Amino acid sequence: MLTNVGGDLLSFEKLPSGALTNQTRADHDAAFGRDWPDVEILTLDGYTGRLNDFLTGAPDLGNYASIIIGTIAPFSRGNVSISSGDTNVYPNVNPNWISDPRDREIAVAAFKRARAIFQNGAVQPLLVGPEAYPGDTVETDERILQYITSSSSTIHHAAGTNRKGKSDDPMAVVDSRGLIGVQGLRMVDISASTLLPPGQPQATVYALAEKIAEDILKG
């Protein structure tokens, strides 16, 4: 699937056959569905290297193009906890990114997929010079994973931060109607989603809002 976001080309795809081990492919399809994409591919007309480079711009005045690939069906799970009842004490946030070995495998395969796009014969005539970052010294799976873990970041679509369950679940704060243990309040945002579907979450939030609005109208 292709779409356009702010002038940038966005697509979703399952990685090519053979890119993942049979076990990781089977686990992914079982957990998310055979039609669920593995990655989100975003092409950008700019330089996206290490975080500091991204914030300060390209190292020179050259024209750059980048491909960012996001793993949109991760197995890794983080957690948020508190160590104090004092609101002045910050919560403990552990994103736990790329901690599951299957996510590490998918991330490496996704990196190779991005590199393969630039190596395609139709793209090569448009390029001037070698890969700027991370460069051809990052070649083995180990070096690629090291690069990914040191430079990757979230795209800030946090989801599922409010546990969903039934009223007898002491850890749940929302149910299918957006409330547990409160009156006159509904939770209608992506924090109440049990997972984040592929792509941008706006349409998912709209669907949730329509559903909760119908519940409210029904009393």
pLDDT band per the 50, 70, 90 thresholds, residue 204:
confident
Q: What is the pLDDT of residues 28-79, one digit of tens each?
A: 999 999 989 999 998 888 887 655 555 556 777 778 888 988 888 889 988 8
Mean pLDDT of 201-205: 87
Q: Are residues 104 and 12 in the same domain?
A: yes
The predicted model scores a pTM of: 0.76
Distance CA 122, CA 161 (A): 43
Other C-beta atoms lying within 10 Å of the C-beta of residue 48: 17
Q: Are residues 129 and 182 in the same domain?
A: no
Distance CA 177, CA 171 (A): 16
Q: Are residues 132 and 186 in the same domain?
A: no
Q: Are 209 and 203 in contact (CB under 8 A)?
A: no
Q: Are residues 115 and 174 in the same domain?
A: no
Distance CA 169, CA 93 (A): 22
Q: Are residues 117 and 9 in the same domain?
A: yes
* 105, 129, 151 - which closes a domain: 151
> The domain spanning residue 63 has which CATH number?
3.30.560.10
> With pLDDT > 70 as the criterion, what percentage of the chain qualifies?
92
pLDDT band per the 50, 70, 90 thresholds, residue 108:
very high
Q: Are residues 67 and 168 in the same domain?
A: no
Q: Are residues 101 and 24 in the same domain?
A: yes
Q: Are 164 and 174 in contact (CB under 8 A)?
A: yes
The pLDDT value given to residue 2: 42
Give the residue numbers marked as catalytic: 157
Which range has the top average pLDDT, 3-7, 146-150, 159-163, 215-219? Answer: 146-150
Torsion sign over Cα 76, 80, 83, 89: positive
The pLDDT value given to residue 178: 85
* 151, 175, 201 - which closes a domain: 151
Packing angle of the helix pair 22-32, 101-119 (nearest 10 deg): 100
Domain span at residue 203 reads 157-219
Q: How many folded domains does the chain comprise?
A: 2
Q: What is the pLDDT of the chain when averaged over all its residues?
A: 86
Q: Are residues 28 and 103 in the same domain?
A: yes
Residue 37 is encoded by which pair of tokens?
Answer: 């994409």
CA torsion 18-19-23-24 (nearest 10°) is: -160
The pLDDT value given to residue 11: 85
Q: Are residues 95 and 173 in the same domain?
A: no
Distance CA 219, CA 217 (A): 5
Q: Are residues 131 and 167 in the same domain?
A: no
The pLDDT value given to residue 4: 45
Longest dimension (CA), the chain: 64
* 126, 151, 176 - which closes a domain: 151
Q: Are residues 29 and 137 in the same domain?
A: yes
The pLDDT value given to residue 19: 95
Q: Are residues 162 and 116 in the same domain?
A: no
